[in-house]
Amino acid sequence: MNLKKLNKIAGYLWAKKTTTESGQELWLPLITHLLDAEQTMHWLFNNWMSEGTKQLLRSEIDDEKLQSLVKFLGFCHDFGKATPSFQSKSSYDGNVSIDSELIAQLIQSGFEGLADMTLTNANESPHAMAGEALLNYFKVPKSISSIVGGHHGDAGNSEPRGQLRDYTANYWQTDSESDVWVKWKRVQKAIFEHGLELSGFRDVSEIPKVSQRSAIILEGLLITADWLASSEYLNNDYQKPLFPLIPINYTIDDIDEDKRFRAAVETWWLDGVWEPKKVLEDSDPYLKRWSFKARPVQQAMTRTIGETTDPGIFIIEAPMGLGKTEIALVAAEQLAYKTQRPGLFVGLPTQATSNAMFDRVQQWEKRLAQEQGDHFPINLMHGKAHFNEAYEKIPRASNVDIESGVDINEWFSGKKSVLSKFAVGTIDNLLLMALKQKHLFLKHLGFSEKVVVIDEVHAYDAYMSQYLFEAIKWLGTYHVPVVVLSATLPREKRKALISSYYKGKYFSKLKIAKDIDENHWSRSKAYPVMTYLDGPDVKQVTEFPGESDQKTVKVKVERLASDAHDAMASVLDKIQNGGVAGVIVNTVSRAQELAKMVPAEVPFMLLHSSFLAPDRAKKEKQIQTAIGKNGHRPKKLIVIGTQVLEQSLDIDFDILYTDVAPMDLILQRAGRLHRHAIQRPRGLDKPQLFVMGATEFGNYGDSNETVYEKYLLMKTDHYLKADLSLPQDISDLVQSVYNFEDELDLPGLDSAKEKFDSNLRKEEQKAKQYRINDPVKGGTIHGWLTRGNDEIGQSDQTASAAVRDIKETIEVILLQQTSQGVVMLDGRPIESCNSKEIAEQLIRLPGRVVPEYQMLEAIELLETQTLERFQSWQSDRWLHGAISLVLDETSQTRFNGYKLAYSSQYGLIVEKEDDDD
């Protein structure tokens, strides 16, 4: 059926309608939107999707049928709008006039009785579900129709059986057969047959079935295409139309579909595509990229990756400061070329480490773009990205040529940010790939397009690891190359990572012999070491000729009681002649307590998670500038912080104090000692590590034992030596602590182990509730996202909390009441700040301030207070739904039995109110 004939039959069905602020009535014919989406999805498949992902799809379907399937899905995605239940929907803005006009058009074209129709169950057939039901009616394979059913983010628990029987009027206007049935069935058949013809299918029997894996990728592509085809203007810029609506008095005949589509793509397509080149090891890629010669470890690992024929996952275990990041970035070039995936995601434990890594990745990507004479997009994927100065200085993409380099394409924001070809972010973004969450298809599509690098893997606890292993399985399913970096990786986690990727790629368990020697890849204590999959074979690199002369750092370990006064006295004594002392503790309150003990004449810096985002961003930069690589080191400085100081920040301490922690974390912290080759102050020329809270075996204090498992602390206490040789001792110490099969005879260890095992089982069970299932060879996408708790994953906050097992807490916008009115904490009146700036003044209240059983009551109280003070927020796109906490002129307030105070120096200070207060 040609398009003119289809338009005569279906041209007055609408897909969208609205009334502008000026009163202009606009609409979009359904056929136009279907053609927009069909062309968009086909274009994205051929021009935007990576060749590596397309090859994965082609392993199931030949290219000709795949091209046809992509067109068919794009055209049929809103097939369910060709029903009376949708066509009778009222406008969102309640404009009766435009509703009446469109209904009148439909009646004139033959849909008699539509104005008088009453559908009592219209909501039971949302258009995505209705589209799937109609495709099933036309005998489309269910693995394909389910993609249409899920294009709004979730395909539901099962196919829509009984829809046409139970809600007949929703599809054909009346419950029993009538003349109007003929009209609806005719128009639906016409649209369906045009979709077949347009796609190149001669008959429905030619439509192929797809696996669950392919369905997920195609669903992600369809959602992307639909969002793009539904965008009237680029980033709400009315000077840059994409797929705009048309005036109500225009018809489908007034639209030049091909011209409309070409103009939209030319406006939207703002970036170049990286064309990875083969990495030539003979010319030393490290010298080319960073102007230093590759170390033997770097040479060997890069050469090995270059020799793989079917690369999978690569686990690189090497000491801090050896250059693992550079190995990973060279590997990204190698693997992008080998697997034809021109993109990269680097995931790190925290926002601070993501910020530090972003600069390095951006500079690397910029060189790639300049070599190609093009510009590539980049994204910093965490909630406080706009406080990163380097990120904010990057030019925004436009359809005007810009200098070769990197840019930020603002279309790839929010849920679409994962689709940006280059991204750095927190590990949450990858962990969320395993969480049952609406629009998860987009995450899977985004990650299937990239090389994935995961840094600091040791930092993820048992709960987070459950999501990590599941995400790794799915990356294996998509044949995505993965590079894992760690300085202190327990061998059980090494084995689990390899096994997870293998199971995802080959849909079977990796067989590991029960009787294996110490040199087997799963038990090897070699260090450095790279363990990897090349096809189904597990291989390992353990020999690095020429690396034996690597620098050995001898660290003297002393133990101190946890008393804060004694600890600070020791710090001050050690740096009396100058020097930079690091103090890493396990809780925010302890960090603040120690900071307040620093004498006024001694400079200090404090970094933890309870700072407003602008303050924290400044502090991260100040610390990097002072004691980072090539930093301007002060004569004397104390840096106090929580775990954020142990991860990835390239900072250097002359002497280090740390609260007791599991062995891998203590060694990570020790990796910040004497990191750079610089002159040290007198008395600090040899590395010294003081461990606080480990002077009495089995008694580490409630706060430390709340943060970390006592069993791990006891084993760390047992194995921690008075003299460390780094990096030589790292692997032995880590493997000893995390060998859960050893039989140490230590007082209280057995009961601590029982509690550890019990907690581990609980964590694994809890994760299963929200984690997606393992990949399967067959199956559909139905039930893939079904979960018991519908609240989990509905927002970025709750989703991140779910994968990190963070107890729900309250985030508030922190402001201050002064005699001049309400101000930001930097003193600016809120009237002089834009809404976005105000919305960014978020801080999370500690869980102890508002226990879970008081959560709803506390939120209601804060909402009421916010509404009384800031009523205009409810109509503001940035501030709608936000809740505030307002401090008094002394920067304090009382809330729920606690005194809360804030200063840019110490952050949020929380104290329990005295009973007699």
**Whole-number Å distance between alpha carbons of 587 and 6:** 67
Among 655, 651, 649, CA closest to 681: 655
Q: Which residues does residue 315 pair with via DSSP β-bridges, in sequence order?
A: 484, 531
Among 133, 138, 140, CA closest to 170: 133
**Whole-number Å distance between alpha carbons of 739 and 487:** 17
- Please say whether the dihedral angle defined by the alpha carbons of residues 582, 585, 589 and 593, taken in this order, is positive or negative: negative
Query: Looking at the predicted structure, is the pLDDT value of residue 119 above 70?
Result: yes
**Whole-number Å distance between alpha carbons of 131 and 82:** 8
Exposure string over 527-560, b if 16+ CB within 10 A, otherwise e: bbbbbbbbeeebebbeebeebeebeebebebebb
Among 37-41, 240-244, 274-278, 457-461, the range scoring the smallest mean pLDDT is: 457-461
User: What secondary structure letter does DSSP report for 282?
Assistant: G
Q: Which two tokens stand for residue 524?
A: 């090897």
Q: pLDDT (tens digit, 9 = 90+) per residue, 669-713?
A: 998 899 888 999 999 999 999 999 999 999 999 999 999 999 999
Among 373, 376, 408, CA closest to 392: 408
Exposure string over 33-49, b if 16+ CB within 10 A, otherwise e: bbbbbbbbbbbbbeebb
The residue with greater pLDDT, 301 or 834, is 301
Query: Looking at the predicted structure, is the pLDDT value of residue 571 above 50?
Result: yes
- Residue 337 is predicted with a pLDDT of 98
**Whole-number Å distance between alpha carbons of 805 and 462:** 10
Three-state SS string across 567-628, please? Answer: HHHHHHHHCCCCEEEEEECCCHHHHHHHHCCCCCCCCEEEECCCCCHHHHHHHHHHHHHHHE
Among 674, 692, 691, 690, CA closest to 580: 674
Query: Looking at the predicted structure, is the pLDDT value of residue 6 above 90?
Result: no
**Whole-number Å distance between alpha carbons of 447 and 452:** 7
Cβ contact 783:158 at 8 Å: yes
What mean pLDDT comes out for the span 777-782?
86
Instruction: Work out the mean pLDDT of the chain and round it to a whole number.
Output: 91
Q: Vertex 410, ends 260 and 338: CA angle to 5°?
A: 90
| Tokens 């796109």 belong to residue | 877
Among 775, 781, 773, 778, CA closest to 435: 773
Query: Looking at the predicted structure, is the pLDDT value of residue 578 above 80?
Result: yes
**Whole-number Å distance between alpha carbons of 769 and 909:** 35
CATH number of 3-267: 1.10.3210.30
Q: Which fold has domain 553-742?
A: Rossmann fold (3.40.50)
| Tokens 């009148």 belong to residue | 104
CATH topology identical between 281-513+529-541 and 553-742: yes
| DSSP string for 158-175 | S--TTHHHHTHHHHHSSS
- Residue 808 is predicted with a pLDDT of 57
What mean pLDDT comes out for the span 719-727?
93
Query: Looking at the predicted structure, is the pLDDT value of residue 372 above 80?
Result: yes
Q: Residues with Cβ < 8 Å from 647, sequence gap 6 or more?
A: 348, 349, 350, 352, 353, 456, 459, 668
Three-state SS string across 709-748, please? Answer: CHHHHHHHHHHCCCEEEECCCHHHHHHHHCCCCCCCCCCC
> Which range, 472-481, 762-771, 776-785, has the best average confidence (pLDDT)?
472-481
Q: pLDDT (tens digit, 9 = 90+) per residue, 460-499?
A: 677 788 899 999 999 999 999 999 999 889 999 999 999 9
- Residue 844 is predicted with a pLDDT of 86
pTM of structure: 0.90
Q: Tally the C-alpha atoms within 13 A of residue 808's C-alpha that lie toward its C-beta.
A: 15
pLDDT band of 645, cuts 50, 70, 90: confident
Residue type, 775: P
**Whole-number Å distance between alpha carbons of 467 and 457:** 12
Query: Looking at the predicted structure, is the pLDDT value of residue 399 above 80?
Result: no
Q: Which residues does residue 556 pair with via DSSP β-bridges, in sequence order?
A: 688, 723
- Please say whether the dihedral angle defined by the alpha carbons of residues 96, 99, 102 and 107, taken in this order, is positive or negative: negative
Q: Which two tokens stand for residue 542?
A: 């353990």
3-state secondary structure of 515: coil
| DSSP string for 78-102 | TGGGSSHHHHTPPPTT--HHHHHHH
Each domain of the chain, given as residue ranges in start order, spans: 3-267, 281-513+529-541, 553-742, 807-912
Q: Which helix (H) or strand (E) holds 553?
A: strand 553-560
| Tokens 């994204």 belong to residue | 379
Query: Looking at the predicted structure, is the pLDDT value of residue 446 above 50?
Result: yes
- Residue 401 is predicted with a pLDDT of 61
Query: Looking at the predicted structure, is the pLDDT value of residue 21 above 90?
Result: no
Query: Looking at the predicted structure, is the pLDDT value of residue 379 above 50?
Result: yes
Residue type, 420: S
Cβ contact 636:680 at 8 Å: no
Strands 898-903 and 892-895: antiparallel
| Tokens 């005007």 belong to residue | 400
Q: pLDDT (tens digit, 9 = 90+) per residue, 596-612?
A: 999 999 999 999 989 98
User: What secondary structure letter does DSSP report for 494?
Assistant: H
Distance, C-alpha 865 to centroid of its chain: 33
Q: Which two tokens stand for residue 723?
A: 């003299």
Q: Residues with Cβ < 8 Å from 387, sequence gap 6 or more?
A: 613, 614, 616, 617, 840
3-state secondary structure of 629: coil
Is residue 270 exposed (0-12), middle (13-18) or buried (19+ Cβ within 10 Å)?
A: buried
What mean pLDDT comes out for the span 143-172?
94
Among 81, 2, 33, 41, CA closest to 255: 33
pLDDT band of 65, cuts 50, 70, 90: very high
Strands 405-407 and 451-454: unpaired
Among 240-254, 546-560, 897-911, the range scoring the smallest mean pLDDT is: 546-560
- Residue 115 is predicted with a pLDDT of 86
3-state secondary structure of 561: coil
- Residue 806 is predicted with a pLDDT of 53
Cβ contact 816:825 at 8 Å: yes
Is residue 60 exposed (0-12), middle (13-18) or buried (19+ Cβ within 10 Å)?
A: middle
**Whole-number Å distance between alpha carbons of 246 and 11:** 14
Q: pLDDT (tens digit, 9 = 90+) per residue, 323-362?
A: 999 999 999 999 999 999 999 999 998 887 888 899 999 9
Q: Which residues does residue 910 pair with via DSSP β-bridges, in sequence order?
A: 900
Phi/psi at 485 (5° precision):
-115, 135
Residue type, 782: H
pLDDT band of 32, cuts 50, 70, 90: very high
Query: Looking at the predicted structure, is the pLDDT value of residue 518 above 90?
Result: no
- Residue percentage of the chain with pLDDT more than 70: 96
- Residue 791 is predicted with a pLDDT of 45
For residue 237, count other CB atoms closer than 10 A to its CB.
12
What mean pLDDT comes out for the span 894-899?
92
> Which range, 426-430, 521-525, 688-692, has the best average confidence (pLDDT)?
688-692
Cβ contact 683:636 at 8 Å: no
- Residue 792 is predicted with a pLDDT of 44
Is residue 515 exposed (0-12), middle (13-18) or buried (19+ Cβ within 10 Å)?
A: exposed
- R_g (Cα) of the chain, nearest Å: 30
- Residue 793 is predicted with a pLDDT of 42
What mean pLDDT comes out for the span 755-760?
91
The residue with greater pLDDT, 779 or 561, is 561
Is residue 242 exposed (0-12), middle (13-18) or buried (19+ Cβ within 10 Å)?
A: buried
Q: Residues with Cβ < 8 Å from 800, sequence gap 6 or more?
A: 428, 432, 806
Q: pLDDT (tens digit, 9 = 90+) per residue, 70-95?
A: 999 999 999 999 999 999 999 887 88
Cβ contact 377:420 at 8 Å: yes
pLDDT band of 586, cuts 50, 70, 90: very high
Query: Looking at the predicted structure, is the pLDDT value of residue 224 above 50?
Result: yes
Query: Looking at the predicted structure, is the pLDDT value of residue 591 above 70?
Result: yes
**Whole-number Å distance between alpha carbons of 479 and 535:** 10
- Residue 243 is predicted with a pLDDT of 97
Arch. (CATH architecture) of 281-513+529-541 = 3-Layer(aba) Sandwich (3.40)
Is residue 110 exposed (0-12), middle (13-18) or buried (19+ Cβ within 10 Å)?
A: middle
For residue 697, count other CB atoms closer than 10 A to its CB.
14
Cβ contact 662:616 at 8 Å: no
3-state secondary structure of 540: strand
For the chain, helix (H) and strand (E) counts, in that order, are 33, 27
